């Protein structure tokens, strides 16, 4: 698709923002598709968030992504929030409509599910119980993605039990909250295991989890992507489980945003993945 009369614009609003890999992803796709455009890191203070969002139409932006600390607050400054984002309780993508209205969604759930499907095309959310460790922002997106894909039982276990209970009460079936102490036993008949805690991330201790009871057929995913192979994924791989690292979620959430803004659904190519891996 060509846009001869318009320079295409989008960006990511956050604070801090210079660590974000999103500009690399979108600017790669501009070049790959021969589109004249740019995607910028936008350092926006919380006090200026509403004004920044409302300026998007006048500046000719097609939309923007939102990251820490704006994903929840921005919901109050847009005109429309879709059902998926409402269930997650946060937005990560704003699309400027032709009339200037701001439509918001959250593609983290899509990104997570696509990252599993890329590695394991035969994976199904309803193949058996899913165990999700953690109940923070990342967990909510993962759980909504799994529920939308038809998971029949999602066990959520979190160090602070109140947060898991709130999440289960908020989202309802098929989500059940279990005590953190049951995390080893909860794996006994699991078909999918997902770590959404920050444990295993660079600078953090490893997740304390025995995989002894986990079926070898289970798919094991970690949404942490620094390092690419967390101690959990290394242990799972060593015993024969298929594993999915967190980089796919980051890349795949960006694809439908680019499509919504610029009309082309871009691909997560091996070249793009290697380019991002080189920055980790």
- Residue 230 makes contact with ligand NAP by CB under 6 A: no
Q: Cβ of 273: how many Cβ atoms within 10 Å? A: 14
- Residue 134 makes contact with ligand NAP by CB under 6 A: yes
- Residue 136 makes contact with ligand NAP by CB under 6 A: yes
Pairing of β 93-96 and β 130-133? unpaired
Site string for ligand NAP, 232-261 (x = CB under 6 A): --------------x--xx-----------
Q: Which of 71, 87, 140, 252 is catalytic?
A: 71
3-state class (DSSP) for residue 7: coil
Choose one: 36-44, 75-83, 97-105, 223-231; the region binding ligand NAP (CB under 6 A). 223-231
The alpha carbon of 125 is separated from its chain's Cα centroid by a whole number of angstroms, namely 17
- Residue 224 makes contact with ligand NAP by CB under 6 A: yes
Nearer to ligand NAP, 56 or 155 (CB): 155
- Residue 135 makes contact with ligand NAP by CB under 6 A: yes
Rounded to whole angstroms, the Cα distance separating 65 from 95 reads 9
Rounded to whole angstroms, the Cα distance separating 277 from 171 reads 34
- Residue 110 makes contact with ligand NAP by CB under 6 A: no
Q: How far is the CB of 271 from ligand NAP (least distance, A)?
A: 20
Contact 106, 91 (CB under 8 A): yes
- Sheet holding 93-96: strands in order across? 37-43, 8-14, 63-66, 93-96, 102-105, 80-81
Q: Cβ of 270: how many Cβ atoms within 10 Å? A: 8
Q: How far is the CB of 184 from ligand NAP (least distance, A)?
A: 14
Choose one: 48-56, 87-95, 156-164, 232-240; the region binding ligand NAP (CB under 6 A). 156-164
Q: Considering CB under 6 A, how many residues would be counted as binding ligand NAP?
A: 22
Q: Is residue 71 annotated as part of the catalytic site, yes or no? A: yes
| Interacting positions 18-47 with ligand NAP (CB under 6 A) | none
Contact 34, 59 (CB under 8 A): no
Pairing of β 80-81 and β 37-43? unpaired
Q: Which residues are catalytically annotated? A: 71
Interacting residue ranges for ligand NAP, rule: CB under 6 A? 108, 134-139, 158-160, 163, 196-199, 201, 223-225, 246, 249-250
């Amino acid at each position: 698709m060509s846009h001869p009369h318009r320079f295409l614009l989008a960006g990511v609003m956050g604070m801090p923002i210079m660590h974000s890999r999103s500009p690399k992803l979108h600017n790669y796709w501009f070049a790959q598709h021969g589109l004249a455009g740019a995607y910028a890191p936008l350092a926006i203070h919380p006090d200026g968030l509403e004004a920044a969002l409302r300026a998007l139409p006048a500046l000719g932006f097609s939309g923007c992504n939102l990251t820490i600390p704006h994903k929840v607050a921005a919901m109050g400054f847009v005109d429309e929030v879709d059902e998926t984002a409402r269930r997650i309780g946060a937005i990560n993508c704003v699309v400027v409509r032709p009339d200037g209205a701001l439509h918001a969604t959250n593609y983290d759930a899509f990104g997570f599910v696509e990252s599993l499907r890329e590695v394991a095309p035969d994976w199904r959310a309803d193949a058996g119980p899913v165990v999700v460790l953690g109940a923070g922002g990342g967990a909510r997106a993962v759980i909504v993605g799994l529920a939308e894909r038809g998971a029949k039982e999602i066990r959520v276990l979190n160090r602070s039990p109140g947060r898991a209970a709130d999440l289960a009460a908020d989202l309802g079936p098929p989500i059940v909250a279990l005590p953190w102490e049951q995390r080893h036993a909860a794996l006994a008949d699991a078909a999918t295991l997902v770590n959404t805690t920050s444990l295993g991330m660079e600078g953090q201790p490893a997740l304390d989890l025995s995989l002894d009871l986990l079926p070898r057929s289970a798919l094991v995913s970690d949404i942490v992507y620094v390092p690419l192979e967390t101690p959990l994924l290394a242990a799972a791989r060593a015993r024969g489980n298929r594993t999915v690292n967190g980089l796919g979620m980051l890349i795949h959430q960006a694809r439908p945003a680019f499509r919504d803004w610029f009309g082309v659904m871009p691909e997560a190519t091996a070249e793009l993945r290697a380019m991002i891996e080189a920055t980790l």
